[in-house]
Amino acid sequence: MVDYFINAFATLFVTIDPVGLAPMFLAVTAGMSQADRRKVAIRATLTAAGILLIFYASGQTVLNVLGISVSAFRVAGGILLFLIAIEMVFGKRQERKAETAEKAVEAQGHHGTVNEIAIFPLAIPLISGPATISAIILLSSQAPDTVSYAGLGGVIAIILLSCMGAFLVADKLERLLGETAQLVITRLLGVLLAALSVQFVADGVLTLMGG
Protein backbone atom coordinates (compact mmCIF):
# COMPACT_ATOMS: atom_id res chain seq x y z
CA MET A 1 0.00 0.00 0.00
CA VAL A 2 2.83 2.40 0.85
CA ASP A 3 4.42 1.72 -2.55
CA TYR A 4 1.11 2.56 -4.23
CA PHE A 5 0.88 5.92 -2.44
CA ILE A 6 4.49 6.81 -3.24
CA ASN A 7 3.91 5.87 -6.87
CA ALA A 8 0.66 7.88 -7.00
CA PHE A 9 2.23 10.95 -5.40
CA ALA A 10 5.30 10.86 -7.64
CA THR A 11 3.23 10.38 -10.80
CA LEU A 12 0.76 13.19 -10.07
CA PHE A 13 3.34 15.62 -8.68
CA VAL A 14 5.54 15.22 -11.74
CA THR A 15 2.61 15.31 -14.18
CA ILE A 16 1.01 18.44 -12.70
CA ASP A 17 4.36 20.02 -11.73
CA PRO A 18 3.24 22.73 -9.23
CA VAL A 19 6.71 24.35 -9.20
CA GLY A 20 6.78 24.59 -12.99
CA LEU A 21 3.30 26.16 -13.02
CA ALA A 22 4.41 29.10 -10.85
CA PRO A 23 5.96 31.09 -13.76
CA MET A 24 2.86 30.40 -15.87
CA PHE A 25 0.68 31.77 -13.07
CA LEU A 26 2.76 34.96 -12.94
CA ALA A 27 2.51 35.34 -16.72
CA VAL A 28 -1.29 35.10 -16.93
CA THR A 29 -1.89 37.27 -13.84
CA ALA A 30 0.55 40.04 -14.82
CA GLY A 31 -0.77 43.44 -13.75
CA MET A 32 -3.23 42.02 -11.21
CA SER A 33 -3.31 43.06 -7.58
CA GLN A 34 -2.27 40.60 -4.86
CA ALA A 35 -5.92 40.21 -3.86
CA ASP A 36 -6.97 39.30 -7.42
CA ARG A 37 -4.02 36.91 -7.78
CA ARG A 38 -5.11 35.20 -4.58
CA LYS A 39 -8.65 34.83 -5.95
CA VAL A 40 -7.32 33.38 -9.21
CA ALA A 41 -5.11 30.89 -7.34
CA ILE A 42 -8.00 29.67 -5.18
CA ARG A 43 -10.59 29.49 -7.97
CA ALA A 44 -8.21 27.77 -10.40
CA THR A 45 -7.37 25.13 -7.81
CA LEU A 46 -11.02 24.55 -6.86
CA THR A 47 -12.07 24.32 -10.52
CA ALA A 48 -9.30 21.81 -11.27
CA ALA A 49 -10.27 19.86 -8.15
CA GLY A 50 -13.85 19.58 -9.40
CA ILE A 51 -12.74 18.35 -12.83
CA LEU A 52 -10.28 15.81 -11.42
CA LEU A 53 -12.83 14.63 -8.85
CA ILE A 54 -15.20 13.66 -11.68
CA PHE A 55 -12.57 11.45 -13.30
CA TYR A 56 -11.36 10.12 -9.95
CA ALA A 57 -14.90 9.01 -9.09
CA SER A 58 -16.00 7.80 -12.53
CA GLY A 59 -12.76 6.69 -14.20
CA GLN A 60 -13.39 2.97 -13.79
CA THR A 61 -17.00 3.38 -14.91
CA VAL A 62 -15.86 5.20 -18.05
CA LEU A 63 -13.49 2.35 -18.88
CA ASN A 64 -16.23 -0.23 -18.31
CA VAL A 65 -18.76 1.64 -20.47
CA LEU A 66 -16.25 1.96 -23.31
CA GLY A 67 -15.17 -1.66 -22.92
CA ILE A 68 -11.54 -0.73 -22.26
CA SER A 69 -9.58 -3.05 -20.02
CA VAL A 70 -7.45 -1.64 -17.22
CA SER A 71 -4.38 -3.26 -18.79
CA ALA A 72 -5.00 -1.55 -22.13
CA PHE A 73 -5.43 1.78 -20.39
CA ARG A 74 -2.19 1.22 -18.48
CA VAL A 75 -0.35 0.84 -21.76
CA ALA A 76 -2.06 3.86 -23.37
CA GLY A 77 -1.71 6.02 -20.26
CA GLY A 78 1.91 5.00 -19.84
CA ILE A 79 2.71 6.00 -23.43
CA LEU A 80 1.01 9.38 -22.95
CA LEU A 81 2.96 10.03 -19.74
CA PHE A 82 6.17 8.94 -21.47
CA LEU A 83 5.59 11.58 -24.18
CA ILE A 84 5.13 14.19 -21.46
CA ALA A 85 8.36 12.98 -19.84
CA ILE A 86 10.24 13.41 -23.13
CA GLU A 87 8.98 17.00 -23.35
CA MET A 88 10.18 17.64 -19.81
CA VAL A 89 13.63 16.13 -20.33
CA PHE A 90 14.24 18.15 -23.50
CA GLY A 91 12.75 21.36 -22.10
CA LYS A 92 9.78 21.47 -24.48
CA ARG A 93 6.99 21.21 -21.93
CA GLN A 94 7.65 24.59 -20.32
CA GLU A 95 7.72 26.15 -23.80
CA ARG A 96 4.35 24.60 -24.62
CA LYS A 97 2.86 25.76 -21.32
CA ALA A 98 4.26 29.25 -21.83
CA GLU A 99 2.72 29.34 -25.31
CA THR A 100 -0.66 28.30 -23.89
CA ALA A 101 -0.41 31.05 -21.26
CA GLU A 102 0.54 33.66 -23.87
CA LYS A 103 -2.39 32.69 -26.10
CA ALA A 104 -4.76 32.99 -23.14
CA VAL A 105 -3.49 36.48 -22.33
CA GLU A 106 -3.80 37.52 -25.98
CA ALA A 107 -7.32 36.08 -26.27
CA GLN A 108 -8.60 37.68 -23.08
CA GLY A 109 -6.44 40.78 -23.13
CA HIS A 110 -4.54 41.93 -20.07
CA HIS A 111 -7.87 42.71 -18.44
CA GLY A 112 -9.21 39.15 -18.46
CA THR A 113 -11.50 38.52 -15.51
CA VAL A 114 -10.46 36.53 -12.47
CA ASN A 115 -12.87 33.73 -13.41
CA GLU A 116 -11.73 33.56 -17.05
CA ILE A 117 -8.05 33.24 -16.17
CA ALA A 118 -8.73 30.83 -13.30
CA ILE A 119 -10.62 28.47 -15.61
CA PHE A 120 -8.48 28.90 -18.74
CA PRO A 121 -5.58 28.35 -18.95
CA LEU A 122 -4.85 27.58 -15.27
CA ALA A 123 -7.49 24.99 -14.29
CA ILE A 124 -7.72 23.71 -17.88
CA PRO A 125 -5.31 22.61 -19.29
CA LEU A 126 -2.34 23.55 -17.08
CA ILE A 127 -3.51 21.77 -13.90
CA SER A 128 -6.14 19.30 -15.09
CA GLY A 129 -4.89 18.53 -18.57
CA PRO A 130 -5.16 15.25 -20.53
CA ALA A 131 -2.02 13.78 -18.93
CA THR A 132 -3.29 14.47 -15.40
CA ILE A 133 -6.72 13.05 -16.15
CA SER A 134 -5.15 9.94 -17.70
CA ALA A 135 -2.86 9.52 -14.69
CA ILE A 136 -5.80 9.73 -12.26
CA ILE A 137 -7.89 7.19 -14.17
CA LEU A 138 -4.83 4.95 -14.39
CA LEU A 139 -4.01 5.21 -10.68
CA SER A 140 -7.62 4.80 -9.53
CA SER A 141 -7.95 1.65 -11.62
CA GLN A 142 -4.78 0.27 -10.01
CA ALA A 143 -5.88 0.85 -6.40
CA PRO A 144 -5.55 -2.57 -4.67
CA ASP A 145 -8.34 -1.92 -2.14
CA THR A 146 -10.87 0.63 -0.88
CA VAL A 147 -8.42 2.18 1.60
CA SER A 148 -5.86 2.76 -1.17
CA TYR A 149 -8.56 4.23 -3.41
CA ALA A 150 -9.63 6.64 -0.67
CA GLY A 151 -5.98 7.46 0.00
CA LEU A 152 -5.55 8.41 -3.66
CA GLY A 153 -8.16 11.10 -3.09
CA GLY A 154 -5.98 12.44 -0.29
CA VAL A 155 -2.92 12.41 -2.56
CA ILE A 156 -4.82 14.37 -5.21
CA ALA A 157 -5.88 16.91 -2.57
CA ILE A 158 -2.29 17.32 -1.36
CA ILE A 159 -0.99 17.91 -4.90
CA LEU A 160 -3.73 20.47 -5.59
CA LEU A 161 -2.97 22.27 -2.32
CA SER A 162 0.69 22.37 -3.32
CA CYS A 163 -0.43 23.99 -6.61
CA MET A 164 -2.35 26.63 -4.72
CA GLY A 165 0.63 27.19 -2.45
CA ALA A 166 2.96 27.53 -5.45
CA PHE A 167 0.60 30.09 -7.00
CA LEU A 168 0.35 32.13 -3.80
CA VAL A 169 4.15 32.35 -3.43
CA ALA A 170 4.91 32.25 -7.18
CA ASP A 171 6.94 35.47 -7.21
CA LYS A 172 9.08 34.38 -4.26
CA LEU A 173 9.47 30.86 -5.68
CA GLU A 174 10.67 32.16 -9.03
CA ARG A 175 13.25 34.45 -7.39
CA LEU A 176 14.41 31.67 -5.04
CA LEU A 177 14.90 28.98 -7.68
CA GLY A 178 15.93 30.97 -10.70
CA GLU A 179 15.60 29.77 -14.29
CA THR A 180 18.55 27.35 -14.17
CA ALA A 181 17.31 25.53 -11.06
CA GLN A 182 13.82 25.24 -12.55
CA LEU A 183 15.23 23.67 -15.72
CA VAL A 184 17.31 21.18 -13.72
CA ILE A 185 14.33 20.21 -11.53
CA THR A 186 12.06 19.81 -14.57
CA ARG A 187 14.54 17.53 -16.32
CA LEU A 188 15.07 15.38 -13.22
CA LEU A 189 11.32 15.04 -12.75
CA GLY A 190 11.04 14.16 -16.44
CA VAL A 191 13.46 11.26 -16.02
CA LEU A 192 11.46 10.06 -13.01
CA LEU A 193 8.17 10.28 -14.94
CA ALA A 194 9.74 8.39 -17.87
CA ALA A 195 10.68 5.52 -15.55
CA LEU A 196 7.20 5.45 -13.99
CA SER A 197 5.50 5.50 -17.38
CA VAL A 198 7.65 2.61 -18.66
CA GLN A 199 6.62 0.65 -15.58
CA PHE A 200 2.94 1.34 -16.33
CA VAL A 201 3.39 0.11 -19.90
CA ALA A 202 5.35 -2.98 -18.81
CA ASP A 203 2.70 -3.93 -16.23
CA GLY A 204 -0.06 -3.47 -18.78
CA VAL A 205 1.70 -5.50 -21.48
CA LEU A 206 2.49 -8.35 -19.08
CA THR A 207 -1.13 -8.49 -17.92
CA LEU A 208 -2.43 -8.44 -21.49
CA MET A 209 -0.05 -11.24 -22.48
CA GLY A 210 -1.02 -13.24 -19.41
CA GLY A 211 -4.70 -12.78 -20.18
Domain assignment present for 18: yes
Domain assignment present for 150: yes
Encoded amino acid at 137, one letter: I
Total of domains in the chain:
1
pLDDT, average across residues 117-126 = 89
Domain assignment present for 23: yes
Predicted TM-score (pTM) of this structure: 0.83
pLDDT, average across residues 24-34 = 85
Domain assignment present for 107: yes
Domain assignment present for 211: no
b/e burial code for range 106-125 (CB count within 10 A of at least 16 → b): eeeeeebebebbbbbbbbbb
The better pLDDT of the pair 180, 76 is held by 76
pLDDT band per the 50, 70, 90 thresholds, residue 105: low
Domain assignment present for 192: yes
Bond before 121 cis per omega within 30 degrees:
yes
Chain centre distance of CA 173 = 19
pLDDT, average across residues 142-169 = 95
Give the CA radius of gyration of the chain.
Answer: 17
CB 127 within 8 A of CB 16: yes
CB 68 within 8 A of CB 79: no
b/e burial code for range 140-155 (CB count within 10 A of at least 16 → b): bbbbeeeebbebbeeb
| Owning domain of residue 38 | 2-205
Separation of alpha carbons 169 and 55, rounded Å: 29
Domain assignment present for 210: no
Domain assignment present for 95: yes
- For residue 48, the model assigns a pLDDT of 97
